[in-house]
Amino acid sequence: MAKSYHLIGSYTCPWVQRAVIAMRAKEVPFEVTYVDLRDKPDWLLEISPHGKVPVLKVDDEVLFESNAIAEYLDETVPPRLHPEDPIKRARNRAWTDFVPGFSSALGKVIYAKSKEEAEEGRAAASRALSLLEEALAKERGNDGPYFNGDTLSLVDAGYAPFLQRFGIAEAVLRTGLLDGFPLVRAWSDALMQNGYVINSTAPNFAQEYESNLQRRETYLWSLIEANRAAAQ
Ligand SMILES: N[C@@H](CCC(=O)N[C@@H](CS)C(=O)NCC(=O)O)C(=O)O
């Protein structure tokens, strides 16, 4: 019998989005429940060991951690989103291991609380982007547009949510950070046009993400507000 998949997420979580991209790419039908992480329901705390999302219920089994969820899906549902070649697969996994470091480096710019903090964050973001640029130039061994060539991989699923948030920020902050990294820019552009990625956010993502930026009192939010006021 076909398994049932029930994803527990929050509206703006990039790690949840990574799991959604993997499920969309595998065309797995799934139910999704979004929770408010500022008021976590008891049932989430009962099933999620760290009290975090995503959680994926597969029939009655509970999986947590977005990478573990993506790997489980890849082992059980075709098509494979990891390369068949074990060396390439190991390298892909190594690059997915870098996603949290990448996320925190870009976060220093996206979620900075002041202009100065955003400028200080540039160095870390630039370092992280240069590592990826090098990976795309040397290790990828193909012309893209995705990490493994013309089909989406779990590396793409891992990075897309963070590249998306960086793109949203960049439209306002205009740091020009991507100018030095043309391969990352082209990769990001391809991912943002991919249907699985486009369909991976909650319907109210834009609004919820802005509320998130506002709640975190980010410099980015202050610019968004100022731009809106100037346009009126
Ligand atoms: N390493 C985890 C990170 C998940 C994570 O940080 N989720 C956040 C939302 S984006 C969360 O649930 N935060 C609630 C909390 O920390 O209490 C994964 O990849 O699944």
pLDDT at 232 over 90: no
38 falls in which pLDDT band (50, 70, 90)?
A: very high
What are the pLDDT digits (tens) for 99-158? 999 999 999 999 999 999 999 999 999 999 999 999 999 877 788 899 999 999 999 999
With contact defined as beta carbons under 8 Å apart, do 83 and 65 qualify?
A: no
Tell me the percentage of the chain whose pLDDT exceeds 90. Answer: 96
* Ligand 1 geometric centre to CA of 99 (Å): 13
Residues with a known catalytic role = 13
Q: Is 129 exposed, middle or buried (0-12, 13-18, 19+ CB in 10 A)?
A: buried
- Per-residue pLDDT at 131: 97
* Ligand 1 geometric centre to CA of 38 (Å): 12
pLDDT at 2 over 90: no
Q: What share of the chain is helix, strand, coil (3-state, %, to 5)?
A: 60, 10, 30
- Per-residue pLDDT at 28: 95
The two beta strands, 5-9 and 55-58, are antiparallel
- Cβ partners under 8 Å of residue 13, min gap 6: 37, 53, 54
Q: Which domains, and CATH codes, for the chain?
A: 5-76 (3.40.30.10), 86-224 (1.20.1050.10)
Nearest to 54 by CA among 102, 19, 24: 19
pTM above 0.95, yes or no: yes
The residue behind tokens 């060539």 is: 149
pLDDT at 55 over 80: yes
Q: To test ligand 1's pocket by mutation, which of 35, 53, 62, 215 has the most ligand atoms within 8 angstroms of CB? A: 53
pLDDT at 226 over 80: yes
How many Cβ atoms from other residues are within 10 Å of residue 139's Cβ?
Answer: 13
* Ligand 1 geometric centre to CA of 179 (Å): 30
Spell out which residues line ligand 1, taking CB within 6 angstroms: 10, 13, 15, 37, 51-54, 65-67
- Per-residue pLDDT at 138: 86
